[in-house]
């Protein structure tokens, strides 16, 4: 377990968690193929850097976590702002070079305080049992893997396993688990041999082939945006909902509290893989896949100033046979465009796989579940036509060399271009208008000193406006006002009420005001919400007036003209407004 015990709020602790875990195992007596080093990589103005500060990450167009051994890269995760394959490859192996001192430190530490490794002897396999499983099961397993449909293949595999167990139960009584393990080894061996030496994939595609794609948008009429993305036997229904600033997700972390205007949630219900289980809280898969998809989409969204909506995207995986996170990325891009959310470019993603045996290596495009399960790598790459936006790689072998990773990146780009072309057939750019069911957000700017007038004492005025108009209103300290409503009339009414509050009196203009207070020397009249002026008794009428109450009473409406403003004090005249009408306002 890695825990953050101290944080200076400038340097990320997460790469050090990997280093700390590796160091702990390195000096222990536990057998380990490490040590492993880890580093965060950024790039500012074209210059790569290791361990950028939190502030530098804001300026960086590459954000990568790279982990590796002395010899090779074992893990990569991160994002970029439309980075080319060559640039990303350079960043990854700059990271591998940068983490070498961390590996050397662990080796030195092991020499000082490390324990001798305990001997590890792997369990002996019963070669006689393995041979019998192969003899009985190879034809059946080969036949099962000749079916491209996942459910048919699973049924055939299940029947084959049952037959093998039944055939061997008398000779190998109470060894059902060992038989199943032997069958798994046989399956893995056959699939890998089929790909490496027979040059044939399970579903018959070429190594760089992408499964058939179908894209639909606008399938749910009431939601703000919807898309159904299907690739082979993997399908994601992705929904977009627009909200206001109040709907932004609050994030509490060691970096402090913040609000996220774009959230993406990934749901993987059991029925998507033919299982009947209860729905539980989000797990590692849901959190990890959702985070990757969010990073993939985020670079194409506009700034808050250009699109002031909170955006929530939810991906519901309806069926899965590999690459459901990449289906989520593609579906999210389609759904956002269907919702009228302006994006810089559509985004697509693909999962790459690897089967290796020494120097014999085959890279697979758009892997299905079994190719991921029996293979050596899961390398997810997302991006637009202009470059990579996110990637994630984990492997089951000792590491990847630069040339193999480069080939995988370029093969992924080829697939991405094909997928984007298929997506463009459904929708190629954002709709010009958002859904009629989404809130309309209108922005107006007022003087900062007028903010308190719009809010009112204890929020009384702003509450009155929202209740009267059925709108939601957010006001920033700098005077930026956001009015949200699904009703255009409500928005217009709220805008007019706010404009009335912040409107300032002008000399020479006429106003219809309300008498709020009578004094011996004149009357105070509210000509705008919160704005009062004085009609001196001499300005009430053309003739001499002895008592103000002879002309006006509290509550009367009166047409007045502003004749002077001095240090914020407004002088009004009823006399100057005589002969004029409300049309002169």
**Phi/psi of residue 335, nearest 5 degrees:** -65, -40
Interior angle at CA 80, CA 75 and CA 82, nearest 5: 130
What percent of the chain lies above the pLDDT cut of 90? 75
Q: How far apart are CA 320 and CA 457, in angstroms?
A: 56
**Phi/psi of residue 176, nearest 5 degrees:** -60, -40
What residues contact residue 218 under an 8 Å CB cut-off, 6+ apart?
225, 226, 338
Q: How far apart are CA 167 and CA 162, in angstroms?
A: 9
What residues contact residue 526 under an 8 Å CB cut-off, 6+ apart?
513, 514, 516, 532
> How far from 389 is each of 259, 296, 313, CA to CA, in Å?
22, 5, 18
Angle between helices 284-297 and 324-338 (to 10 degrees): 50
| For range 305-317, the mean pLDDT | 94
pLDDT at position 4 is: 92
CA contacts within 13 A on the Cβ side of 449 = 2
Domains of the chain: 14-113 (3.30.230.70), 127-196 (1.10.10.400), 213-426 (3.30.230.70), 440-502 (3.30.1370.10), 510-584 (2.40.50.140)
Q: How far apart are CA 185 and CA 188, in angstroms?
A: 5
Q: How far apart are CA 499 and CA 494, in angstroms?
A: 9
What percent of the chain lies above the pLDDT cut of 70? 100
Q: How far apart are CA 101 and CA 563, in angstroms?
A: 79
Strand order in the sheet with 480-485: 440-445, 480-485, 472-475
Taken as a whole, the chain contains a residue count of 585
Helix/strand/coil for 158: helix
What residues contact residue 254 under an 8 Å CB cut-off, 6+ apart?
4, 7, 9, 13
pTM of the model: 0.86
**Cβ neighbour number for residue 15 with a 10 Å cutoff:** 22
pLDDT at position 432 is: 94
* Alpha-carbon dihedral 326, 328, 334, 335, rounded to 10 degrees: -170
pLDDT tens track for 445-498: 998 988 988 898 899 999 999 999 999 999 988 999 999 988 888 899 999 999
What residues contact residue 444 under an 8 Å CB cut-off, 6+ apart?
481, 483, 495, 498, 499
Q: What is the 3-state secondary structure (H, E, C) of 93-148?
A: HHHHHHCHHHHHHHHHHHHHHCCCCCCCCCCCCCHHHHHHHHHHHHHHHHHHCCCC
| Residue 581 pLDDT grade (very low, low, confident, very high; cuts 50, 70, 90) | confident
Tokens read off for 524: 């105070």
Q: How far apart are CA 551 and CA 366, in angstroms?
A: 86
* Alpha-carbon dihedral 420, 433, 299, 483, rounded to 10 degrees: -160
| For range 548-554, the mean pLDDT | 91
Nearest alpha-carbon partner for 354 in 418, 413, 407, 293 = 407
| For range 395-416, the mean pLDDT | 93
| For range 289-301, the mean pLDDT | 97
Q: How far apart are CA 537 and CA 521, in angstroms?
A: 5
| For range 84-96, the mean pLDDT | 97
DSSP 301: B
Start-to-end Cα distance in the chain: 73
| Residue 237 pLDDT grade (very low, low, confident, very high; cuts 50, 70, 90) | very high
pLDDT at position 502 is: 86
Q: How far apart are CA 120 and CA 467, in angstroms?
A: 72
What residues contact residue 311 under an 8 Å CB cut-off, 6+ apart?
240, 241, 242, 243, 261, 262, 263, 301, 336, 341
**Cβ neighbour number for residue 198 with a 10 Å cutoff:** 9
Q: How far apart are CA 349 and CA 226, in angstroms?
A: 18
> By the 8 A CB rule, do 301 and 311 touch?
yes
Q: How far apart are CA 341 and CA 302, in angstroms?
A: 9
pLDDT at position 125 is: 85
Flag whether pLDDT at 202 surpasses 80.
Answer: yes
pLDDT at position 382 is: 98
pLDDT at position 234 is: 97
pLDDT at position 504 is: 83
Flag whether pLDDT at 372 surpasses 90.
Answer: yes
> By the 8 A CB rule, do 195 and 352 touch?
no
Q: How far apart are CA 471 and CA 175, in angstroms?
A: 69
**Phi/psi of residue 548, nearest 5 degrees:** -60, -35
pLDDT tens track for 117-168: 999 888 888 899 999 999 999 999 999 999 989 999 999 999 999 999 989 9
Helix/strand/coil for 1: coil
pLDDT at position 305 is: 85
> Given phi > 0 = left and psi -120 to 50 = alpha, else beta, which region is 463?
alpha
């Amino acid at each position: 377990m890695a825990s953050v015990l101290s944080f200076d709020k400038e340097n990320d602790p997460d790469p050090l968690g990997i280093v700390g875990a590796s160091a702990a195992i390195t000096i222990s007596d536990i057998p380990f193929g490490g040590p492993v080093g880890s580093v965060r990589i950024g790039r500012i103005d074209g210059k790569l850097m290791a361990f950028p500060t939190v502030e530098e990450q804001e300026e960086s167009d590459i954000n990568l976590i790279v982990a590796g051994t002395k010899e090779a890269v074992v893990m990569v995760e991160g994002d970029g702002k439309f980075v080319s394959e060559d640039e990303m490859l350079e960043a990854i192996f700059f990271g591998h070079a940068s983490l070498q001192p961390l590996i050397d430190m662990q080796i030195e530490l092991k020499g000082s305080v490390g324990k001798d490794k305990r001997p590890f002897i792997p369990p002996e396999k019963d070669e006689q049992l393995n041979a019998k499983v192969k003899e009985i099961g190879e034809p059946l397993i080969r036949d099962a893997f000749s079916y491209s449909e996942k459910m048919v293949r699973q049924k055939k595999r299940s029947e084959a396993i049952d037959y093998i167990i039944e055939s061997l139960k008398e000779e190998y009584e109470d060894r059902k688990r060992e038989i199943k393990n032997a069958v798994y080894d046989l399956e893995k061996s056959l699939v890998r041999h089929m790909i490496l030496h027979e040059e044939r994939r399970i579903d018959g595609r070429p190594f760089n082939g992408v499964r058939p794609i179908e894209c639909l948008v606008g399938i749910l009429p009431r939601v703000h945006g919807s898309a159904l993305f299907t690739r082979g036997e993997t399908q994601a229904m992705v929904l977009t909902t627009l909200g206001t600033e109040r709907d932004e997700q609050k994030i509490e972390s060691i970096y402090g509290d913040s609000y996220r205007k774009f959230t993406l949630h990934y749901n993987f219900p059991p029925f998507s893989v033919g299982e009947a289980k209860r729905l539980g809280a989000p797990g590692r898969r849901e959190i990890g896949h959702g985070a990757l998809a969010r990073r993939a989409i985020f670079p194409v969204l506009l700034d808050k100033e250009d699109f002031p909506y909170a955006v929530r995207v939810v991906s519901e995986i309806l069926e899965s046979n590999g690459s459901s996170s990449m289906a989520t990325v593609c579906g999210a891009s389609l759904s956002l465009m269907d919702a009228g959310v302006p994006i810089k470019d559509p985004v697509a993603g693909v999962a790459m796989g690897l089967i290796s045996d020494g120097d014999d290596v085959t890279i697979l495009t758009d892997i299905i579940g079994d190719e991921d399960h029996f293979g050596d790598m899961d390398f997810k790459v997302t991006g637009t036509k202009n470059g990579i936006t996110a990637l994630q790689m984990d492997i089951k072998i000792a590491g990847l060399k630069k040339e193999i990773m480069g080939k995988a990146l370029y093969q992924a780009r080829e697939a991405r271009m094909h997928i984007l072309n298929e997506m463009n057939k459904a929708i190629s750019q954002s709709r010009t208008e958002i859904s009629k069911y989404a809130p309309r957000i209108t922005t107006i700017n007022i003087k900062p000193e007028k903010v308190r007038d719009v809010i009112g004492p204890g929020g009384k005025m702003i509450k009155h406006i929202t209740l009267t108009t059925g709108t939601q209103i957010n006001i920033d300290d700098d005077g930026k006002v956001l009015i949200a409503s699904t009703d255009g009339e409500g928005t217009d009414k709220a805008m007019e009420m706010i404009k009335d509050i912040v409107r300032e009196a002008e000399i020479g203009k006429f106003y219809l005001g309300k008498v709020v207070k009578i004094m011996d020397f004149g009357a105070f009249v509210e000509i705008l919400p919160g704005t009062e002026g004085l009609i001196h008794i001499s300005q009430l009428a053309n003739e001499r007036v002895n008592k103000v109450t002879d002309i006006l009473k509290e509550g009367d409406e009166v047409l007045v003209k502003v004749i002077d403003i001095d240090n914020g004090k407004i002088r009004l005249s009823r006399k100057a407004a005589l002969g004029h009408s409300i049309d002169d306002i």
